[in-house]
Amino acid sequence: MTRWFAPGRINLIGEHTDYNDGFVLPLALRHGCTTTLSAADEGWTVASAQASAPATVRPSGLAGRDDAPDWAAYVLGALWLLRDDGVDVPPIRIEVDSDVPSGAGLSSSAALVCSVVCALDDHLGLDLGPDGLLDLSRRVENDAVGAPTGGMDQLASLRGEAGHALFCDMRDLTTQSVPFDAAGAGLVLLVADTRAPHRHADGEYAARRSGCEEAARQLGVPALRDVTLAGLDDALGRLDDEELRRYVRHVVTEDARVLDAVEVLRAGRTEDLGPLLTASHASMRDDFRITVPEVDTAVEAMLSAGARGARMTGGGFGGCVIALVPSADVDAAGDAVRRASADAGFAEPALFTAEAAAGARRVSPASR
């Protein structure tokens, strides 16, 4: 029996920059998914503590994916892809159990996929190494599940480090741990899951991605990462389409905010992260247009209750807000968010505090 845990993530800053070859700064959460693998006599069986019934399928490549329930693709995807890569995957039972809220923008899917991939790598002795684990995890989501996501979530889940955010360059996929010690600065990273239903999130995500690619094409650059802040006005002047101009402005300024965020954290000026978070939110709301009233309301409530900065985290159209709040103001900020949401007739948000936790790891079969 082999057991692995992989966490969900919060993205501190750098939204929708990953698929533009840009920069992101996520951190791994203490919430995550545990995958337990054991040998079986026949077939591939997947059981989820969060799904009603286990599913057993005949071993196959990706071509067999229609035989499995949708949720099981996140688990079986790695098996299908390995089989297509020529790996002989024996009969196996896979049990998954996650405490990452799903649909909250906290990468419950990356936690699931990465824990399965790490457990398989270990169980089958594949020795994929850090790049291979990342590559297989990304292919599960992009090719097996069919979500055109950008790779940040899997990097954070695989490589997060306790007490640190993970600065990722999404062009060459290199990562550097950057100290993130909110408590040391008298601050708390407060998370409000607005529970806003994800409205058209998949289609809107794909539309943003193809819009960014179209803008890069019109500007004659490999990706929007190649437009500098100094060259932004010139680039905007060369685009006719107002929507594409807004996308470019978000991505270019967001990349710059990530670099600034890394600088302030490295200098130990955690509090100075606040204005960058708030500016990121404004950019997502006004230029990239991926926020919804529930998250805008939560951000405003956090700020008016004393947060040093606040923003939506994740792909958008619902999900969680994060805020850097002085320790003494945490209860007031939570109350303010709950009150503002109730006044607006929204669902009651779930609140929790987050610290940067460690990335994927083997756990002893006795635990969890």
Residue ranges in contact with ligand GLA by CB under 6 A: 11, 15-16, 18-19, 107, 149-153, 314-315
Inter-residue contact 157 to 6 (CB < 8 Å) = yes
Residue 40 vs 171, nearer CB to ligand GLA? 171
Closer residue to ligand GLA, CB minimum distance, 188 or 224: 224
Q: What's the residue count for the chain?
A: 368
Phi then psi dihedrals of residue 335, to 5 deg? -60, -40
Residue pair 340/299 in contact by the 8 Å Cβ criterion: no
Give the Cα separation of 232 and 255 in Å (integer): 12
- Between helix 152-159 and helix 108-123 the angle, nearest 10°, is 60
User: Which tokens belong to 77?
Assistant: 């995807």
Give the separation between CA 332 and CA 306, rounded to whole angstroms.
8
Alpha-carbon span 184 to 267, nearest angstrom? 13
- The nearer residue to ligand GLA, 152 or 189, going by C-beta atoms, is 152
Smallest gap from Cβ 170 to ligand GLA, in A, equals 9
**What is the smallest separation between the CB atom of 14 and ligand GLA, expressed in angstroms?**
7
Catalytic, out of 21, 121, 153, 296 = 153
Residue 171 CB, shortest distance to ligand GLA, in Å, is 14
121: enclosing H helix or E strand: helix 108-123
Q: How far is the CB of 45 from ligand GLA (least distance, A)?
A: 27
Q: How far is the CB of 338 from ligand GLA (least distance, A)?
A: 26
Q: How far is the CB of 30 from ligand GLA (least distance, A)?
A: 19
In whole angstroms, give the CA distance from residue 182 to residue 186.
6
Q: Largest alpha-carbon pair distance within the chain?
A: 64
For 62, other C-beta atoms within 10 Å of its C-beta total 16
Kind and range of the H or E run holding 326 = strand 320-326
Catalytic annotation present for 153: yes
3-state secondary structure of 335: helix
Q: Which is nearer to ligand GLA, 309 or 316 (CB)?
A: 316
User: Would you give the DSSP letter of residue 89?
Assistant: P
Residue 137: strand, helix, or coil? helix
Q: What is the distance between the alpha carbons of residues 46 and 53, in angstroms, rounded to a whole number?
A: 9
HSE at residue 72, side-chain half, CA atoms within 13 A, is 23
Cβ proximity to ligand GLA, 334 vs 359, nearer residue: 359
Residue 350: Cβ within 10 Å count: 14
Work out how close the CB of 310 gets to ligand GLA at its nearest, in angstroms, rounded to a whole number: 17
Q: If we measure between CA atoms, which residue out of 276, 290, 297 comes closest to residue 349? A: 297
Active-site residue set: 153
